């Protein structure tokens, strides 16, 4: 039997449609990666999105919006030929001390009388004053040779050192807030004719950390008593004696309690789930993260409800603007509505119960609309496409992203904990790495205290100076009084 079927020849250079789509998707992904790299090097870092159309007042009812009346108003305005205002100098703060300097005219004719004065204020600067605190304790011989009496030496932060609380606070604040490594501080002191070796400063700082360790443990205990935490992590290079000539990449795990206004940095050698698992072993409550899978796989004793961060979800769509502007703008516009609700609630200073009601009335309809659009669109886009990745990320975390509407205490994103990490990122650019794993944990301690000072609007130098003077004699069961959130001078 003869087979009459013909086998069609494939033209040379022909690419099947499936293979063509795959190549097209790969090309689009490579172009996206190239655009992101160019943006990192040359572009703006801002993620701000400005919608093209105006939004309705989020707290007006639909009837109020539909019944609003408009009328056209015309008027004539005269144009004034006014000269451009010259820029004005801002007034210098009144609390700054004034050093008065009187300059009389070189020649004053006899009989002249003073009719007023012109005052000019100029801001000047004196370098930081380093001084020596000299403690003199007179000795007295008691009558009838009954011995000698002398006043007790005040408690010092580091008894075997000649460094006072203020200089110890200064070197800590300079490194972890002003990002000045110890070797730079040593050079600054040298310009003031004060030679302090870098090794000496390191020794002082190590003593400060030993003194503050019980307060750090108190901070951790207070933070874990909260029922709502935010968490994030950031890498830090560490010199490891086991890896000669190479840096170990460790991680600073950061936890924030929005309710108690506390921030805790905890150093761990890795980014595995064992780090938060150990920290949160007995924690029960809500934990808000960026969606990192380690948090979802933790095995802890407590009952943890996971929340996600809308700022991270928004970031994916913002990155997709270049490749799919129409879809990305649609989602960014809806997310902008969610943030407008939060902003209005903050401006009105409403309580948490009222905020939750606002979210139920205004945020839930926006979330419902967004969910329907995501479900419909996910089947229309390629998985490797930037908009496809953004949609997949959002849908995978949808329940965790929307949990915030059920409680007015919860925040819409993790932005505040990212703000707490910024000093660490700036510090890395200056001191590059930690000298050891212990040094990385000491850095975590200081970042914890100073981040908590910032959250509570406490001046860090003043706080640390006072605490270093008080903590040697402070009762162990009342150390929470010295935390920045509870501190009183």
Higher pLDDT, 14 or 368: 368
Q: Give the model's pLDDT for residue 481.
A: 93
Least confident of 74-88, 134-148, 185-199, 420-434: 74-88
**CA atoms of 361 and 236, how far apart (whole Å):** 43
151, 152, 153 from 148: Cα distances, Å: 10, 12, 15
Tell whether the model's pLDDT for residue 7 goes beyond 50: no
Tell whether the model's pLDDT for residue 181 goes beyond 60: yes
Furthest CA-CA distance within the chain:
140
Closest CA to 283 of 231, 216, 232: 231
**CA atoms of 351 and 337, how far apart (whole Å):** 20
Helix (H, G, I), strand (E, B) or coil at 8: coil
**pTM listed for this prediction:** 0.78
Q: Give the model's pLDDT for residue 458.
A: 94
Q: 60-88 pLDDT, tens per residue? A: 444 443 454 555 656 566 665 555 566 66
Taking residues 258-269, report their average pLDDT. Answer: 93
Token pair in block for residue 473: 């004699």
User: Which residues make beta-bridge pairs with 61?
Assistant: none
Token pair in block for residue 282: 């007995």
Q: Give the model's pLDDT for residue 55.
A: 44
**CA atoms of 388 and 409, how far apart (whole Å):** 32
139-141/148-150 β-pairing: antiparallel
Taking residues 167-195, report their average pLDDT. Answer: 91
Tell whether the model's pLDDT for residue 430 goes beyond 80: no
């Amino acid at each position: 039997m003869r087979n009459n079927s013909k086998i069609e020849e494939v033209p040379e250079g022909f690419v099947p449609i499936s293979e063509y789509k795959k190549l097209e998707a790969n090309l689009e992904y490579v172009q996206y990666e190239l655009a992101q790299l160019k943006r990192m090097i040359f572009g703006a870092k801002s993620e701000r999105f400005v919608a093209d159309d105006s939004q309705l007042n989020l707290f007006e009812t639909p009837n109020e919006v539909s019944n609003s009346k408009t009328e056209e108003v015309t008027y004539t305005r005269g144009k004034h030929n006014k000269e451009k205002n010259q820029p004005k100098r801002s007034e210098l703060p009144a609390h700054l001390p004034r050093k008065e300097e009187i300059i009389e005219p070189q020649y004053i004719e006899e009989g002249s009388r003073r009719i007023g004065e012109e005052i000019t204020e100029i801001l000047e600067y004196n370098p930081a004053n380093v001084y020596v605190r000299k403690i003199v304790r007179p000795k007295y011989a008691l009558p009838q040779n009954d011995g000698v009496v002398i006043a007790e030496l005040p408690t010092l932060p580091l008894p075997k050192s000649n460094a006072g609380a203020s200089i110890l606070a200064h070197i800590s604040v300079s490194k972890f807030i002003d990002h000045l490594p110890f070797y730079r501080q040593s050079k600054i002191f040298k310009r003031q004719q004060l030679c302090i070796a870098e090794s000496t400063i390191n020794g002082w700082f190590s003593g400060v950390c030993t003194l503050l360790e019980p307060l750090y443990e108190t901070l951790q205990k207070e933070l874990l008593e909260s029922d709502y935490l935010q968490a994030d992590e950031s890498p830090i290079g560490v010199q490891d004696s086991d890896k000669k000539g190479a840096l170990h990449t460790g991680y600073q795990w950061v936890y924030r309690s929005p309710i108690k206004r506390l921030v805790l940095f905890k150093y761990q050698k890795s980014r595995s789930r064992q780090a938060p698992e150990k920290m949160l072993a007995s924690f029960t409550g809500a934990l808000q993260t960026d969606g990192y899978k380690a948090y979802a796989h933790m095995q802890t004793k407590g009952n943890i409800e996971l929340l996600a961060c809308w700022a991270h979800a928004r970031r994916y769509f913002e990155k997709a603007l270049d490749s799919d502007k129409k879809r990305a703008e649609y989602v960014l516009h809806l997310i902008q509505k969610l943030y407008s609700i939060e902003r209005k609630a903050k401006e009105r200073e409403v309580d948490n119960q009222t905020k939750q009601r606002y979210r139920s009335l205004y945020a839930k309809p926006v979330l419902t609309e967004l969910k329907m659009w995501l479900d419909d669109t996910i089947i229309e886009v390629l998985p490797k496409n930037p908009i496809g990745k953004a949609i997949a990320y959002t849908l995978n975390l949808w329940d965790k992203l929307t949990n915030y509407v059920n409680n007015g205490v919860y925040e819409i994103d993790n932005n505040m904990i990212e703000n707490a990490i910024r000093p660490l990122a700036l510090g890395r650019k200056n001191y590059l790495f930690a000298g050891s794993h212990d040094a990385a944990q000491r850095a975590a301690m200081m970042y914890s205290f100073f981040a908590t000072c910032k959250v509570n609007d406490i001046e860090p130098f003043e706080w640390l100076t006072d605490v270093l003077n008080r903590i040697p004699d402070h009762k162990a069961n009342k150390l929470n009084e010295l935390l920045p959130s509870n501190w009183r001078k």
